Structure 1
């Protein structure tokens, strides 16, 4: 008897904002981009029926493929999402959703980071993935602790100045 072995679904932790952002992108890609690309394909076909030689048609088909791939990725992420309500979290121990203020032990530069889901990480906006080396070093620590992180530029040490829940 051949039984298929089912792997457990890997949940993706994310904030409510991150979930809403993925939903917005999915909605845009389905309701706006998909019809726009379909129209572009039809226009390209009308201009030149020799499809293998029609550059506009080929470009539109490539764009369609990319859009459909991204739609499938978004649907998968939303289906596996584990939305964590950060507003209900508290305490001084760092975990998913915490906003942490750190001071670089060498440069004395202060930075603030929120630990978020992988799909919503954006270093420019102060959001790091829960799976990043820095977040992994911070999880479970408390204010006042010193953490060391191995980065591409070498080892860095940070002092945890503040743990907040926003």
Structure 2
């Protein structure tokens, strides 16, 4: 399995989720199963079935998160010396060449991507167009509405 790039914050978020799953969610679902068992006949016990299904989901998610963390390559954007180039972890200020609208995105791993937080996956078309470019360069992105051009205003490593 190849390495999964993660920012420091993304790795912390996954570790916190894993801790919550193991210390809160897992004990809660075990208690729910025990409670449902005490109600008698398991063949027609919807609470028991729901609790067992939830337990399966939690155990699967624990394995998934542990796998991602064990195969992750944690990259600290502040420790990068990329000479102003767009790289994984960089925060990039852009200006849409058509509308003049300015936006800021951080290039992150797939699990961290959240457009509401202005974080885009390094596999997204926009991030792929940005990687390797410098402030002042124009990045062309094939969007559903046609070709879009963005000028890179600034590249930061936060």
1:43 counterpart = 2:35: yes
Deviations 1:37-74 (A, max 9, x none): 00001101112x22121111111111111111111110
Q: Which residue of 2 aligns with 1:11?
A: 3
- Looking at structure 2, the residues matched to 69 and 80 of structure 1 have their Cα atoms a distance apart, in angstroms, of 17
Aligned counterparts, 1:9-88, within 5 A: 9-47=1-39, 49-88=40-79
1:154 Cα offset (Å): 3.0
1:159 counterpart = 2:133: no
4+ residue runs over 6 A deviation: none
The TM-score with structure 1 as length reference comes to 0.91
SS of the residue aligned with 1:53? coil
Deviations 1:91-123 (A, max 9, x none): 211111110000111121111001111111111
Q: CA 1:112–1:32 in structure 2 vs 1: closer, same or farther (change >3 Å)?
A: same
Q: CA 1:152–1:70 in structure 2 vs 1: closer, same or farther (change >3 Å)?
A: farther
Q: CA 1:38–1:153 in structure 2 vs 1: closer, same or farther (change >3 Å)?
A: farther
Q: Which runs of 5+ in 1 are unaligned?
A: 1-8
- Looking at structure 2, the residues matched to 45 and 27 of structure 1 have their Cα atoms a distance apart, in angstroms, of 27
Q: Which residue of 1 aligns with 2:133?
A: 141
Q: Which runs of 5+ in 2 are unaligned?
A: none
1:151 Cα offset (Å): 2.3
- Looking at structure 2, the residues matched to 144 and 116 of structure 1 have their Cα atoms a distance apart, in angstroms, of 22
SS of the residue aligned with 1:131? coil
The TM-score with structure 2 as length reference comes to 0.95
Q: CA 1:35–1:142 in structure 2 vs 1: closer, same or farther (change >3 Å)?
A: same
